[in-house]
Amino acid sequence: MKSMFVLVTCLFFLFMLSGCRDSDEISLPEQSSHIHDILSIRNSDGDSIYYGMSQVDVESILGLGEAGFGNTHFYESADITILYRDGIVALLTMHSDSGWRLANGIYIGMRVYDQQVFYGKTVEESRQFTRYITNQYDASILTVDYRFALEGDSDLRLLATVEEYEELRRETLGQDILRYRFMVSLRAPDDTVAIIVFGDQQALFTLR
């Protein structure tokens, strides 16, 4: 009877360990297209910081930040840098794994695989798109940018193909649209996410 108990216990723990490995590699939650769901981070306490959130509300969660260049503030407790425009979040950068994750589950330190799908596209598909848009040919660092266009008042549409991106760019050439184009960017040397950035393209390109 004792040996049977030991066997069952061992099998139980083996099952638990194998389940943990599978969920760490693949499992990502579904995500809505709302701007505050895509451009946001969350922690295990249920706190959320998102694009367009007021500085007052951010600092009620992270505490006071240290002022940096322009309107940027660094929050040491979470290793997060935020650029504010008119007192609201316009750009956010995560530098290390401090317990915060993108709303769809991506986190600093996560392994990235070619077959992994984020926002409906595999990493390799997104990487090729990024290379075309940015003329980036450095294969030593995995850089993946997910670009979005604002649809209506609050939904984001992923620009999934080069043709779609070029068509939209031609239609809006010369217009002030950078505040209405958005990006989630991953930097992953050694196929491991090291930096996560999200915000609108005006903030990303001009820091304003």
What is the C-alpha to C-alpha distance for residues 61 and 41, in angstroms, rounded to an integer?
A: 12
| E strand or H helix at 25 | helix 2-26
Please state at what angle helix 123-134 crosses helix 162-171, rounded to 10 degrees. 40
Q: What are the φ/ψ torsions at residue 134 (nearest 5 degrees)?
A: -105, -5
Q: Which tens digits make up the pLDDT trace of 37-71?
A: 999 999 999 999 999 999 999 999 999 999 998 89
pLDDT band at 2 (very low <50, low <70, confident <90, very high): very low
Domain residues of the chain, as ranges?
Answer: 33-206
pLDDT band at 27 (very low <50, low <70, confident <90, very high): very low
Q: What are the φ/ψ torsions at residue 137 (nearest 5 degrees)?
A: -120, 10
> What is the pLDDT of the chain when averaged over all its residues?
80
What average pLDDT does this structure show over 188-204? 91
What is the C-alpha to C-alpha distance for residues 73 and 65, in angstroms, rounded to an integer?
A: 5
pTM: 0.79
